[in-house]
């Protein structure tokens, strides 16, 4: 007697909400989530909209034909990509170390690695000067042994951007690694793979989405990098003047030009990020 009753009870509501869902606005997204979500969206998009509204469209062609703009844009793209590459080469193994190898002080090290996230970028730039500058703790040896000085060079821009962007990659990859089942590595080991082969042929493909997400984050952060770059690498057109630097300096006496430059940076980043998202993030 009791068995049929719950089945009809279950049957009724399944039809009910489905019919209700069609009618309800927002497809049944609860209001306490919908309202803050839309407010958050507006908060993020409004400044970008304002930028568009205030763009001096008429003078835009003149602004965009200046060689300096394209120089800065090219430098921005090249250095952000190089910084992402550096972050990948150094950051993925670091993330693996933090996620997979148990050693004393790991928690502290994890906190230290994320420090550049909270450090004001200008402070990061000063710290880089003190470390890798011509007179810096390590930079002195670079200069003495190899004749390499990083400040005021494009390499310096890459270093500054990588310093600020790499933690994003490390955090993203480490999170993915911790979520990934370490027993796949063990399985690979029992099949004769060294720990490195296991990492390369099994773990890396497994965490590829996380690595891609981290790389995109790092690239975006590097592209927008200002404080550490101008402090460590200085500002010289064609060599160290990236788009954010050009925007900042244009803002000093020609706000219209600054807006135009920002628009270019924005358009390029959006198209690159959207392209990556389609190709990488969705193929899971």
Partner 1 sequence: MTTRTVRRTGRTLQAAGAGAAALLALSACSSSGDASSSAPRSSGSAAASGTAASAASGAKRLSGTVTVFAAASLKESFTTLGKEFEKDHPGTKVTFNFGGSDTLAANITAGAPADVFAAASPKTMGIVTGEKDTAGPPVTFVRNRLEIATLPGNPDHISSLKDLTRSGLKVVLCAKTVPCGAAAQKALDAGGLKVTPVSYEQDVKSALTKVELKEADAAVVYKTDVKAAGGKVEGVTFPESARAVNDYPIALLKNAPNPDAARAFIALVRSAEGRGVLTRAGFLAP
Partner 2 sequence: MTDLAAPRTGVTAGQGLDAHLVVDRGGFRLDVRLRAASGDVVALLGPNGAGKTTALRALAGLVPQAGGHLRLDGTSLDRTPPQSRPVGVVFQDYLLFPHLTALDNVAFGPRCRGASRAAARALAAEWLARLGLTDHAGAKPRHLSGGQAQRVALARALATHPRLLLLDEPLAALDARTRLEVRAQLRRHLADFEAVAVLVTHDPLDAMVLADRLVVVEDGRVVQEGTPADIARRPRTDYIARLVGLNLYRGEADGHTVRLDAGPALTTTEDLSGPVFVAFPPSAVTLHRERPAGSSARNLWRCEVAGLETHGDQIRADLTGELPLAADLTTAAAADLGLHPGAPVWAAVKATQTHAYPA
Burial bucket for residue 229 (CB in 10 Å: 0-12, 13-18, 19+): buried
- Scanning 54-62, 99-107, 241-249, 265-273 for contacts with partner 1 by CB under 8 A, the matching segment is 241-249
> Taking CB within 5 to 8 Å according to partner kind, which of partner 2, partner 1, none is near residue 238?
none
Cα–Cα distances (Å) from 145 to 128, 139, 142, 150, in that order, read: 19, 10, 5, 14
Among 188, 215, 243, 260, binds partner 2 (CB under 8 A): 188
How many angstroms separate the most distant Cα atoms in the chain? 91
Q: Residues 204, 211: contact at Cβ < 8 Å?
A: yes
User: Judged by CB under 8 A, does residue 202 bind partner 2?
Assistant: yes
Judged by beta carbon distances under 5 to 8 A according to partner kind, the member of partner 2, partner 1, none in contact with residue 186 is partner 2
d(CA 231, CA 152): 9
CA dist., res. 47 & res. 260, Å (int): 15
193 binds partner 2 (CB under 8 A): yes
**Window contacting partner 1 (CB under 8 A); options: 9-17, 19-27, 122-130, 203-211:** 122-130
CA 201, CA 164: separation in Å to the nearest integer?
29
Nearer to partner 1, 209 or 237 (CB): 237
Residues at the site binding partner 1, with contacts judged by CB under 8 A: 120, 122-123, 126, 129-130, 133-135, 151-152, 230-231, 233-237, 240-241, 245, 248-250, 252-254
Residues at the site binding partner 2, with contacts judged by CB under 8 A: 181, 183-184, 186-195, 197, 201-202, 205-206, 208
């Amino acid at each position: 007697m009791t068995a049929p009753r719950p089945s009809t009870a279950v049957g009724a509501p399944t039809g009910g909400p489905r019919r209700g869902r069609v009618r309800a606005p927002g497809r049944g997204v609860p209001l306490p989530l919908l309202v803050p979500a839309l407010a958050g969206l507006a908060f993020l998009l409004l400044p970008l909209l304002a930028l568009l509204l205030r763009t001096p469209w008429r003078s835009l062609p003149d602004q965009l034909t200046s060689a300096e703009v394209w120089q800065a844009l090219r430098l921005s793209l090249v250095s952000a990509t190089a910084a992402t590459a550096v972050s990948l080469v150094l950051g993925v193994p670091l993330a693996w170390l933090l996620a997979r190898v148990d050693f004393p002080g790991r928690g502290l090290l994890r906190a230290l690695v994320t420090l550049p996230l909270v450090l004001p970028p200008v402070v990061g730039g000063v710290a880089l000067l003190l470390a890798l500058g011509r007179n810096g703790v390590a930079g002195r040896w670079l200069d003495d042994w190899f004749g390499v000085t990083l400040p005021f060079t494009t390499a310096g821009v890459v270093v500054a951007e990588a310093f600020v962007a790499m933690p994003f990659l490390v955090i993203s990859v480490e999170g993915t690694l911790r979520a990934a089942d370490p027993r796949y590595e063990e399985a690979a080991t029992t099949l004769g793979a060294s720990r490195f082969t296991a990492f390369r042929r099994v773990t890396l493909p497994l965490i590829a989405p996380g690595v891609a997400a981290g790389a995109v984050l790092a690239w975006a952060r590097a592209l927008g990098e200002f404080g550490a770059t101008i402090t460590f690498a200085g500002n010289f057109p064609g060599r160290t003047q990236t788009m954010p630097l050009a925007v900042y300096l244009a803002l000093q006496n020609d706000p219209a030009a600054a807006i135009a430059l920002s628009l270019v940076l924005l358009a390029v980043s959006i198209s690159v990020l959207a392209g990556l998202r389609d190709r990488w993030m969705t193929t899971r």
